[in-house]
Every structure is written in C-alpha cells, then in structure tokens.
Amino acid sequence: MIENIRKEVKHWWLSLLLGILFFATGVWVIFTPISSYITLSIFFSAVILVSGISQIIFSISNKNNLHGWGWHLTSGILDVIIGVILLIYPKLSMVVLPYFVGFWLLFAGFSSIAMAVEAKKVIGSISVWGIIFGALVVIFAFLLIINPLFAAVSIVYMTAFAFGTLGIFRIIYAFHLKKLKSKLKE
C-alpha cells in the first residue's frame, strides 16, 4: 500500500472536470422549465454517458495506484449503460426518468461516501465534506425513488440540487487528489 501511495495519482483533473460538469448541469437544470422535460431527459442522458466514459478512463489509468479502483470502474460502466439506454429511448426515459436518475444518484452518492472514506487511507484523514455531500446526494436520490409522481413534477429542482451537490463533492475530491499528487512529488 505504501508503494501505491508513493505513485502519483494520474488524471486527478478528471474529477474536477466532472465536478464542474455536474455543478453546471445543476445550475442549468434549475433554470430549465418543466415544459422542456424531454430536452432535460436527453441532456441528462448525455451527461450520464460522458460521466461514465470519464470514470472508466480515470479508473483504468489509476488501477495500479488507486485502492478500490474497481468501484470507479463499476460506477463508470453503470453510467455508460444508463446513459445509452436513456439516449436510445427518450420517450420512455421521460416516464422512468425519476427512477433512472434516482438510482443513478443513489449509486453516485454511495460511491462519493466510499471515496471520502478511502481518502483516509491515502491522505490520512476522512473527507468530512465528501461524506456530507455524498449523504445529501443519497437523500435526494431516495426522494426521487420513493415518490416518482411528486418527483416527475419537481424533478427539475430536486435533480438540480442533487447534481450541484455531486458537482461540489467531485470538485473537493479532485483537490484532495491534487493534494495527494503534490505530497507524492515531495
């Protein structure tokens, strides 16, 4: 494990880009009216697909340096599958969007919490903010899953807050990875 810590974490900036993408998506969604629900469905599909591709690249490029890299890979594969399904069936995705987004955010929230805890092994301290933001994403996800009718009406705002929260977490996580990279160079 010490040998893995000495190796630098590659592509830490992918997490930063994802965070910016998620946060920007959250801001965009909050200003999108409910009448553009199909556009929102297609946009979410594309964001989830791009997220999956980025996660796969990140996990494969860090498989020898990152403990638990398989969770990053699993998350990326799940994102790609969900993104492709949503892009192929946009009308269906409008009906099931609260479930897709809810379960996707649920997995992303738990992954965020796991990454925050994993930071203790690498950096020496648990990312408390990572756990808080991950827990908020999980709460938003449960709200979407538990009440899909309400979620269909309010999905624009609930999803905007969830994406914004996930974006903030990914940005914080990126700076933890950058800090690790700097420590390893010393």
In this model, does residue 1 exceed pLDDT 50? no
Q: Per the domain annotation, does 60 fall within a domain?
A: yes
In this model, does residue 162 exceed pLDDT 80? yes
Closest CA to 108 of 149, 74, 64, 65: 74
Q: Per the domain annotation, does 24 fall within a domain?
A: yes
Look at residue 156 in the predicted model and tell me its pLDDT.
Answer: 74
Q: What is the mean pLDDT of residues 5-23?
A: 77
The structure's pTM equals: 0.52
% pLDDT > 90, the chain: 17
Output b/e per residue, 59-69; b: 16+ Cβ within 10 A.
beebeebbeeb
Token couple for 13: 């900036």
Name the residue range of residue 79's domain: 7-185
Q: Per the domain annotation, does 1 fall within a domain?
A: no
Q: What is the mean pLDDT of residues 3-17?
A: 67
For the chain, the average pLDDT equals: 81
Q: What is the pLDDT of residues 57-97, one digit of tens each?
A: 988 988 887 777 888 899 899 999 988 988 898 777 777 77
Q: What is the pLDDT of residues 16-50, one digit of tens each?
A: 899 999 999 888 878 875 656 777 778 778 888 99
Number of domains in the chain: 1
In this model, does residue 153 exceed pLDDT 70? no
At residue 178, the 3 state secondary structure works out as helix
CATH of residue 98: 1.25.40
Most confident of 5-14, 54-63, 97-106, 154-163: 54-63
Q: Per the domain annotation, does 2 fall within a domain?
A: no
Q: Per the domain annotation, does 151 fall within a domain?
A: yes
Rounded Cα gap, residues 36 and 25, in angstroms: 15
Q: Per the domain annotation, does 95 fall within a domain?
A: yes
Q: Which residue has the tokens 């379960």?
A: 103
Q: What is the pLDDT of residues 106-123, one digit of tens each?
A: 998 998 888 888 777 766
Rounded Cα gap, residues 169 and 95, in angstroms: 29
Q: Per the domain annotation, does 62 fall within a domain?
A: yes
Token couple for 176: 């933890």
